[in-house]
Amino acid sequence: MRDRLGPRVRVVNITPYILIGGDSTRFGRDKATFEFDGEQLAARALRVCEEAFPDAKARFVSKEKGKFFDREMIPDVYPDRGAAGAIHAALADASTPWIFVLACDLPFVTSAFVAKLAAHIGDDNGCVIPIQKDGRWQPLCALYSVDMCLQPFEQAISGDGKHRSLRAIAGLCWPRTVEFAEYADVPDAHRLLTNANSTADLERI
């Protein structure tokens, strides 16, 4: 529900999940441990998530169980399903009503931006997804309702291997998209969602 003052926000518990399980084929080495601006990408994402949600402990989604930076690491339920499989694993693991998902190769995301996204959580939407300045959705820096998203993700990635795109799956989850104009006041808004697919990308940025 919304009124003329903006979104009517529910107070909810949110668990942050950091995606580190990609193959990093274009990057050329493990992204999670790559040091950028004096900080490993996974550590940077961990710091941002726990600054945004100080009452929560972040978890990592990877290909195996274990510990990473002294945080739990959970594996995909359905291996080799890409980012959609990682989000499904987070939804299946969560004990809170909502999760926040952040890919570790989005190094310019800030806690202020994450908090701004979380302010748009409402009863009518199953996910909150920012729109990049170029108009593309960024579902790898987004919030998802467990009740409203787990089943669509499960149906999309299980079965015969013919899977929908992540954008298409998110579109089934009653999304609340956050346009660039709605977060343009956040410092460095123009590059917040810049993705680092290669070390050259980071050097260029």
The reported pTM is 0.88
d(CA 118, CA 199): 30
pLDDT value, residue 169:
95
d(CA 66, CA 74): 7
CATH pick for 13-204 out of 3.40.50.720, 3.90.550.10, 3.40.50.920, 3.30.365.10: 3.90.550.10
Q: Identify whether the C-beta of residue 2 lies closer than 8 Å to the C-beta of residue 122.
A: yes
Scan for tokens 């989604």, then name that residue: 61
| Side-chain-side CA neighbours of residue 169 (13 Å) | 28
- Dihedral sign for Cα atoms in the order 46, 104, 191, 5: negative
Ranges in the chain, pLDDT < 50: 1-11, 24-28
d(CA 101, CA 138): 11
Query: What is the DSSP pairing of strand 2-3 with strand 6-7?
Result: antiparallel
pLDDT value, residue 11:
47
What is the CA angle 190-192-197, rounded to 5? 110
pLDDT value, residue 1:
36
Name the residue among 114, 110, 147 with its Cα closest to residue 130. Answer: 114
Neighbour tally for 56: CB within 10 Å: 16
